Amino acid sequence: MLSLSTTDLLILSGIVFAAWFTHGCIQERRENPNSLPLPPGPKGYPIIGSFFSFPTYKAWLEYDKWFKIHGDMIYFTVFGQGFLVLGNIKRVYDIFERRSSNYSDRPRLVMLNEMMGWDYIFGLQRYGTWWRRRRRQFHDHFHPNVVNRYHPIQIDAARAFDRSVLESPERYKQHIRYTFADSILKAVYGMDVKENETYVGHAGTTTEGLASAGNPGSFLVDVFPVMKIIPEWFPGAEWKRKANEWRYLNSIVANSLWNSVKEQMKAGTAKPCIATAMMASIPDSESPASKEEELVRRDACAVGFLAGADTTISSVTSFFMAMAIYPDVQKKAQAELDRVLSGRLPEFNDRPSLPYINALLKESGRWQPVAPLAIAHMATNADEYDGLYIPKGTCVIGNAWSILHDPEIYEDPFIFNPDRFLKNGEIDSSVQDPNVASFGFGRRICPGRFFSDAALFSTMTHVLAVFDIKPSLDDNGKEIKIKPNMTNGLLSYPEPFGCRIIPRSKEAERLIRNSGLMT
């Protein structure tokens, strides 16, 4: 048996470090022949880099502080893995749009894809053929020229939401979840939410996992992939037990609804929906190619369900919070609706006549972005940009929160102010649209954004047309001040707050109760 003294171990460690350092230097000289400097950033330590200063709690806020010190591009390493964080729209556009061929890949997402089973979600997949095929299938059913086919479903869901809120306003957050789950279940699988509540619960649980693990470094296994071999019974391996639970639920979400539609199609009872359309286009064969085509379509449907059933919840909850904090904005939006609707509920063809409402939707996406850091990209090859060297494999992050709170673009960025997007009573096209950052960047921008935008328009207008949203009252009858705080994670949600949701009038209450007869 080989025995090593302390001196031997030190010498061996030194040799390993020297070999690692030499290899890194040779590779850098080969990829960076002009010896360009790296982008500025916090100073780290040998080997571990910036491990101790690597932000994992509301990292978008910490990066925003770093931008003020180091500039609008920050580079640092953690155990040899490089990270580049971009802090303004110019940097994001130059990197993710103009150089999209080199910055459309994803980093290795160990916790999410390999441990939690999120690898069927094309938004998290590596850039390549598998990603293209799934995204193409999804895009065919959600691009801007076809989303109007889902408008009747979204109108029905918004009116059902109004009725649910009227009956139990204290449960409005649960109603938000079920409203969006219902509309996306009907669109994708032709199913009703009441008959599939279990899957809605699974979607919520798995998305909580996505929010927890989505930002790089949230779990140590992302930094040390070798930790994958740790058994779940090992002390301190709670993270692995969670990963296995999320993986199990992910498998159910990905397979069960698709398989249910398959059985319904065989029985001739399936309702027309995205899943049936996709199934009908699969080559009728038991060949491996046919099974592969089915897998591509199954995954695209699962993405639609998960994105529509849960992630939009943050935007609608933030809207309720904003209306309770900014009553003047609420009154202005209601005045515009009253003028256009004249005592009826909104329809999609009203939208061109509602510039303030459209501005309010833009401000909702800007004020509290759902994904403050979006999803990280990766540099496929080494690059030179603006006189700086970006190493191959660098994890590149666009700080959407900083872009959407840039005071040089949005005056008083922490204030909820739809008027910033208006000029002479119309949308001001010269003001930067929040969509440049709120749905991701470059080729990896969210393809479901058009469906989401329509769902938000329908829900928000139906709420404002018939309800007043106000802060909760304390024991003395005084309004409780709401602090617009958001949770940590890849997906950020408003922290719990109380509000009162009250029908605006007897006529509004009548409209709500009769809305089921209008659809």
Binding residues for heme: 446
Lookup: tokens for 168: 């139990």
Which single residue is written with the structure tokens 């009728």?
284
503 forms bridges with which residues in the sheet? 467
The whole-angstrom separation of Cα 468 and Cα 52 is: 47
Dihedral sign for Cα 203, 206, 208, 213, please: negative
396 forms bridges with which residues in the sheet? 84, 377
The whole-angstrom separation of Cα 494 and Cα 316 is: 10
Helices 449-466, 327-341: axis angle to 10 degrees equals 90
Rg of the chain on CA atoms, in Å: 25
* Nearest Cα to Cα of residue 199 among 247, 274, 244, 253: 253
CB distance 330 to 464 below 8 Å: yes
Lookup: tokens for 318: 């933030």
The whole-angstrom separation of Cα 172 and Cα 472 is: 14
Helix, strand, coil percent content, the chain, rounded in steps of 5 = 60, 10, 35
CB distance 166 to 509 below 8 Å: yes
Residues in the chain: 519
Q: Residues of 399-430 as b/e, b for ≥16 C-beta within 10 angstroms?
A: bbbbbbbbeeebeebeebbbebbbeeeeeeee
3-class DSSP string for 29-87: HHHCCCCCCCCCCCCCECCCECHHHCCCCCHHHHHHHHHHHHCCEEEEEECCEEEEEEC
CB distance 143 to 503 below 8 Å: no
The whole-angstrom separation of Cα 312 and Cα 317 is: 9
Segments of 129-184 assigned E as strands: none
Lookup: tokens for 261: 């539609």
Q: Alpha carbon 95 to chain centroid distance?
A: 20
* Nearest Cα to Cα of residue 491 among 190, 153, 58: 58
Binding residues: 446
* Nearest Cα to Cα of residue 487 among 90, 207, 94, 69: 207
DSSP secondary structure of 410-427: SSSTTS--GGGGEETTEE
Which single residue is written with the structure tokens 């491996």?
288
Q: Are strands 499-503 and 73-78 parallel, antiparallel or unpaired?
A: unpaired
